[in-house]
Amino acid sequence: MSIFKKIGMKIMEIIRYVGKAITRIFGPTDDEYPPTGVQPFTGEPPEKKKRKRFSW
């Protein structure tokens, strides 16, 4: 195999590699997260604390 064919093959591999990345970035998402919606709060609210003011 000549050196030019090897260089051509490497260039094609690089183009294919970059092409797959671009397709994955700009393609439709394949996230399969469950729909959760709004979750009700069932805990106790925190106690309000007085802010300490610094006396300079």
Q: Would you list the DSSP string of 29-47? A: ----PPP--PPPP-SPPPP
Q: Is the pLDDT of residue 54 over 70?
A: no
* 53 or 15: which leads in pLDDT: 15
This prediction's pTM = 0.49
What whole-number distance in Å separates Cα of residue 18 and Cα of residue 9? 14
Over the stretch 6-30, which tens digit does the pLDDT of each residue have?
999 999 999 999 999 999 999 887 7
- How does 17-51 read in b/e, with b if 16+ C-beta sit within 10 Å? eeeeeeeeeeeeeeeeeeeeeeeeeeeeeeeeeee
